Amino acid sequence: MFRLTTINNRSAIEVDGVFHDLAKVVGDESLADPMNAIARFSELHSASDKVRSSGSPVSGPIGVCVPNPKKVFAIGLNYRSHASESAMEVPPAPLTFTKFPSCLVGPNDDVVLSGPLVDWEVEIVVVIGKGGKNIAESSSWKHVAGITLGQDISDRAVQMTGQPPQFSLGKSFDTFGPIGPVIVSVDAFSNPDDIGIWCDVAGQRMQEARTTDLIFNIPFLISYLSSICTLEPGDIIFTGTPDGVGAARGQFLKAGDVIDSGADVIGTLRNVCVEK
Ligand code: ZN
């Protein structure tokens, strides 16, 4: 198993709570590029073992664990609970939009509010490690480098403008995609289809669910998306958010709010909301 992220724009692996420079541990400078490390994810298990005999500790703020994905897929209305609170019908196929990669930020970065109707959405994020086309559900986990956590921050005014509304821009303001803190290999989960996630805003629990409640689970999403787009290493999928978003509560993010997000095994994000 391994835990991968970036520190000082270089790949870092976490072992026993300490981060190490991956390229220095392995003796291969090409692994300093995190997108390269993701594409070579099968080598990271032994690299993590090697840290115990010859580590290369690094420190500094944790950066974006997938800094340059070619594609960022995001799935709407993918928990039954959230479809119901949004008064929307369960979709016949994954309702897919994109978050443009420039919105991605690190696990402790600020979220810059674009207006008065900005909302939280905690989500499990899948990181593709091995590309492919028409990937079968039964083999889809073999294509996953690992799993991380994300916030699909959404400006509801911009998201819902026009008919039919187009979600992508309202979810792509700069800083609207905190992810991390690390990519965790699939073998670290006792069941990767059953991960608990939660989100607190200003100290109040807003969302709490397990990925067993997904309408379209991770293997199905990989199979479905790869039947349309060739998947490539480093592509990521925001898999959808459970109930408890602000729009359903009539409450939105304001400057000074702290968004605390968490997931089993993966860890936590802490993002402070600031005025633009
Ligand atoms: Zn979402």
Question: Percent of the chain beyond pLDDT 70?
Answer: 100
Asked if 81 and 24 sit in the same domain, the reply is: no
Band of pLDDT at residue 97, cut at 50, 70 and 90: very high
pLDDT per residue as tens digits for the range 119-138: 999 999 999 999 999 999 99
The residue range of the domain holding 40 is 3-54
For the entire predicted model, the pTM comes to 0.97
- Residue 258: inside a domain: yes
The answer as to whether 62 is a domain residue is no
pLDDT tens profile 217-262: 999 999 999 999 999 999 999 999 999 999 999 999 999 999 999 9
Q: Is the pLDDT of residue 8 over 80?
A: yes
Do residues 270 and 134 share a domain?
yes
Q: How far is the CA of 147 from the centre of ligand 1 (A)?
A: 16
Q: Does one domain contain both 120 and 178?
A: yes
With respect to residue 7, please indicate whether it lies within any of the assigned structural domains.
yes
CA distances from 81 to 24, 49, 168, 206, 240 (A): 46, 41, 22, 13, 11
CA-to-CA separations, 122 to 34, 154, 211, 243, 270, in angstroms, rounded: 24, 11, 12, 10, 12
- What is the count of structural domains for the chain? 2
Give the residues across from 272 on adjacent strands.
258
> Rounded CA gap, 88 and 91, in Å?
8
158 and 28 share a domain?
no
**Domain assignment present for 47:** yes
In a domain? residue 59? no
User: Is the distance from CB of 157 to CB of 130 less than 8 angstroms?
Assistant: no
The Å distance, Cα 53 to ligand 1 centre, comes to: 41
**Residues 252 and 199 grouped into a single domain:** yes
Classify residue 67: in a domain, yes or no.
no
Q: If you measure from the C-alpha of residue 217 to the centroid of ligand 1, how many angstroms do you get, rounded to a whole number? A: 14
Q: Are residues 13 and 145 in the same domain?
A: no
Instruction: Confirm whether 66 is domain-assigned.
Output: no
Query: What are 27-80's pLDDT values in tens digits?
Result: 999 999 999 999 999 999 999 999 989 999 999 999 999 999 999 999 999 998
Q: Give me the CATH number covering residue 103.
A: 3.90.850.10
Residues bordering ligand 1, an ion, CB closer than 5 Å: 121, 152, 241
Q: How far is the CA of 112 from the centre of ligand 1 (A)?
A: 18
Domain shared by 37 and 76, yes or no: no
- Residue 204 neighbours by CB under 8 Å, 6+ apart: none
Cα 56 to ligand 1 centroid, rounded to whole Å: 37
Does an H or E element contain 35, and which?
helix 34-39
Q: Which three-class secondary structure state does DSSP give residue 255?
A: coil
